[in-house]
Structure 1
Amino acid sequence: MTSQSQGIQQLLQAEKRAAERVAEARKRKARRLKQAKEEAQGEIEQYRMEREREFQAQQRMALGTQGDLSSEVEAQTHKTLQMVQSCHGKNKEVVLRRLLSLVCDVKANLHPNYRFTNY
């Protein structure tokens, strides 16, 4: 009987050691999964930062170009406005004299299609 009880004790101890090894293996697996997850998060964050830098660079380039275009358009508009104002200043007197002469110097002429008839 003692050999039977000793065999049972050995089986129980073997089962206990196996359960401990399984528990330890599960803990190692959980640690490895946690470590892999942290590494993946780090890689994801690094990739996200890289893409964000690229986006910011492209945005600066696009907005810089847009800013250059708007300043160029503003300069062109200012130049055109100055040209129009200078032409207006030069030709204002001439146009006013011509308009006044056309309005004030009326010559009474008969229309070419008018037929004079004696009644």
Structure 2
Amino acid sequence: MASQSQGIQQLLQAEKRAAEKVAEARKRKTRRLKQAKEEAQAEIEQYRTEREREFQQKQQAAMGSQGNLSSEVEQQTKKKIQTMQTNYQRNREKMLRQLLTLVCEIKPEIHNNYKIGA
């Protein structure tokens, strides 16, 4: 009976050691999964940063060319406005005289559609 008791004790101890090894293996697995997740997050963040930088560079290049276009359009607009103002100043008196002449000189005429004695 003593040998059975001793055998049972050995089995219990072996079972306990096996449970400890399984628990330790689970802990290692959990640590490794956490580590893999952190490494993946770091890689994702690095990739995201790199893509964001590329996007910013492309956007800056595109906006730079648009900035040149807008300044060119603005210069053309200023030039056209200056030309219009010059033409206005040059022709203002002449137009006012023509307008006043048309308004003040009244020539009574019979309308073409008026029928006499109809």
1:42 offset after TM fit, Å?
Answer: 0.4
1:104 offset after TM fit, Å?
Answer: 5.6
Whole-Å Cα distance in 1 between the matches of residues 9 and 36 of structure 2? 40
One-letter code of the match for 1:52? E
Q: Return 95-104 or 41-50, whichever deviates more.
A: 95-104
**Residues 16-31 of structure 1 aligned to structure 2 (within 5 Å):** 16-31=16-31
Q: Does 1:40 align with 2:37?
A: no
Whole-Å Cα distance in 2 between the matches of residues 110 and 9 of structure 1? 137
Structure 1 gap segments, 5+ residues each: 114-119
Q: Spell out, residue by residue over 1:12-66, the C-alpha distance to the aligned partner (whole angstroms, 9 max, x if none).
A: 1111111111011111101110110000110111111112112222332333333
Q: Which position in structure 1 is the counterpart of 2:72?
A: 72
With over 3 angstroms needed to count, the CA separation of the structure-2 counterparts of 1:109 and 1:31, relative to structure 1, is: closer
TM-score (normalizing by structure 2): 0.76
- Identity within the alignment, %: 69
Q: Which position in structure 2 is the counterpart of 1:95?
A: 95
1:74 offset after TM fit, Å?
Answer: 1.4
Q: Which position in structure 1 is the counterpart of 2:60?
A: 60
Whole-Å Cα distance in 1 between the matches of residues 88 and 81 of structure 2? 10
1:95 offset after TM fit, Å?
Answer: 3.1
Whole-Å Cα distance in 1 between the matches of residues 9 and 108 of structure 2? 142
Q: Return 43-52 or 54-63, whichever deviates more.
A: 54-63
One-letter code of the match for 2:50? E
Q: Which position in structure 2 is the counterpart of 1:116?
A: none
